[in-house]
Amino acid sequence: MVGFTDRQESVVSNWRKNVVTKLGEEVFLLFDQPSTLIGSYDRDTIAKYLSEGDVDVMVVLHYGDNKNWENKEGVTKALHRFKEILQGAYPETECSVDRNCVTMKLTEFRLDVVQPFDFRKVTIASLIHTGENG
């Protein structure tokens, strides 16, 4: 377990906030919980220096506004859209799409952005109303 300095925690917090804000300008995120830190950084179990590790931020997509990505190719399309947005916002930062995340190679650490959908917002009434109930 590695302890982080206040400065490192501030850098992580700022990158998270900026990335979530930038993505939120282009795609619909869940308003009450647009993102959360996950993984070893959040659990304080990272076993390396921050510069050798990564920080995972989960950016939660609002299902109703992004359901066009709910198909076989949807995750890949969403990740490539995230990469496009982040590369446009941070052209000097290397971004790549991994199997399940977009990785930004920052000066002090790698930031992995993952995007689940929030299905709590889907109700039976909305499914019946839109004709998507099977």
Which pLDDT score is estimated for 117?
Answer: 56
CA distance 35 to 58: 5
Which pLDDT score is estimated for 49?
Answer: 74
Topology of domain 6-130 in CATH is Beta Polymerase; domain 2 (3.30.460)
Which pLDDT score is estimated for 85?
Answer: 93
Q: What are phi and psi of 127, to 5 degrees?
A: -70, -45
Q: Per-residue pLDDT for the chain (134 aa), expressed as one digit of tens each?
A: 467 778 888 888 888 889 988 888 887 665 666 677 777 666 566 666 777 778 888 887 776 677 777 777 777 888 898 999 999 999 999 999 987 889 999 998 899 998 765 444 433 333 333 434 33
Domain segments of the chain: what residues? 6-130
Query: Residue type at 91?
Result: P
Q: Quick check: 101 and 44 in contact, CB under 8 A?
A: no
If you search the block for the tokens 């506004």, which residue do you land on? Answer: 65
Q: Is the dihedral of CA 76, 42, 108, 27 positive or negative?
A: positive
